[in-house]
Amino acid sequence: MTPGVKPLVAGNWKMNGTGAALGEVRAIVEGLSASGSAVADAMLCVPATLIGRAADAAGGAVLEIGGQDCHAKESGAHTGDVSAEMLRDAGASAVIVGHSERRTDHGETDATVRDKAAAAWRAGVTAIICVGETREQRENGEAERVTSAQLDGSIPDDMTAGNTVIAYEPVWAIGTGLVPSNDDIAAIHALIRDRMEARFGGEGRKVRILYGGSVKSGNAAEIFAIDNVDGGLIGGASLKAADFLAICDAVPD
Ligand SMILES: O=C[C@H](O)COP(=O)(O)O
């Protein structure tokens, strides 16, 4: 954790969930409301088709709703795309940009991600900007270089701690059950913090840096206790309310 920074536990449902899954959203809201604790902010980034209904179910109090991607433009001839303004209109307060699955499946570059982050800010939603190395890059000792380059290239100049969240997600840890050692997580998060501070000063000191990649209820407390880990971006374990709530509970007081 970072002193003075409110942690965030954000779920990423990826391409999972239809209307039948709204019961999980309601259960998460009930669980968070019952715990009465506001130690951390909680968010679910759901498929675009669910944002409106999930936002209605969440009711705006204890659980924020986010999207998983946006187009850089506000509107226009871009069949199948969704703008950040549309996400906000539907009830999203944040959007993930630059997830490695987007970088891989859709060829998104750092420049693409930077434009999408700027679009999120234009629309008044928080950009959750993802970075992280592949297994091959980690094995070649390139994790620091790759992560630094992605950070430099993916974040526009007018970043603030209010409009942005950084998520470090080593690609090889996503959905695999593999997690870097605590020392390795600490090293990359310290690198990200240093780089953010060097470029953005006080805003970089306060921006939230999440860890993502095989976070479960069993390892969350240990990971969240690491310096400069200000919460998590949770994939598979955010799909079920009980799992997600247990991870929220793992945030230290
Ligand atoms: O955005 C979330 C990450 O890709 C982590 O996914 P995971 O928790 O299923 O490993």
What's the pLDDT tens digit per position in 143-179?
Answer: 999 999 999 999 999 999 999 999 999 999 999 999 9
Q: Give the mean pLDDT of the chain.
A: 97
Mean pLDDT of 41-63: 96
What per-residue confidence (pLDDT) applies to 53?
98
| Pocket of ligand 1 from Cβ distances under 6 Å | 12, 99, 169, 174-175, 212-215, 233-237
Residue 214 lies in a domain: yes
What per-residue confidence (pLDDT) applies to 60?
81
- Identity at 32, one-letter amino acid code: L
What per-residue confidence (pLDDT) applies to 36?
72
Per-residue pLDDT at 5 exceeds 70 = yes
84 by DSSP, 3-state: which? helix
Q: Which candidate, 141, 203, 218, places its Cα nearest to that of 166?
A: 203
Residue 2 lies in a domain: no
Active site residue 136: no
H or E segment at 116? helix 110-123
Residue 23 lies in a domain: yes
Axis-axis angle for helices 241-249, 22-35 (nearest 10): 30
Active site residue 197: no
What per-residue confidence (pLDDT) applies to 230?
98
Q: Which domain holds residue 171?
A: 8-249
Residue 1 lies in a domain: no
Residue 3 lies in a domain: no
Which residue is associated with the tokens 């999408």?
116
Residue 144 lies in a domain: yes
DSSP 39: S
Mean pLDDT of 201-212: 98
User: Which atom in ligand 1 lies closest to the alpha carbon of residue 12?
Assistant: 1
Q: From ligand 1's centre to the CA of 130, what distance in Å?
A: 11
What per-residue confidence (pLDDT) applies to 166?
98
Q: Is 177 annotated as a binding residue?
A: no
User: Which atom in ligand 1 lies closest to the alpha carbon of residue 14?
Assistant: 1
Quote the number of domains for the chain.
1
Per-residue pLDDT at 30 exceeds 80 = yes
Residue from 64, 85, 133, 169 carrying the catalytic annotation: 169
Residue 189 lies in a domain: yes
Q: Is 116 annotated as a binding residue?
A: no
* CA diameter of the chain: 48
Per-residue pLDDT at 202 exceeds 70 = yes
User: Which atom in ligand 1 lies closest to the alpha carbon of residue 238?
Assistant: 8
What per-residue confidence (pLDDT) applies to 245?
97
Residue 146 lies in a domain: yes
What's the pLDDT tens digit per position in 73-114?
Answer: 999 999 999 999 999 999 999 999 999 999 999 999 999 999
Q: Is 214 annotated as a binding residue?
A: yes
For residue 147, give the CATH number of its domain.
3.20.20.70
Q: From ligand 1's centre to the CA of 233, what distance in Å?
A: 7
Distance CA 53, CA 211 (A): 28
Per-residue pLDDT at 20 exceeds 90 = yes
ipTM summary value: 0.99
What per-residue confidence (pLDDT) applies to 35?
86
Mean pLDDT of 54-67: 95
Residue from 99, 101, 108, 133 carrying the catalytic annotation: 99
What per-residue confidence (pLDDT) applies to 37?
64
Predicted confidence band of residue 253 (pLDDT cuts 50, 70, 90): confident
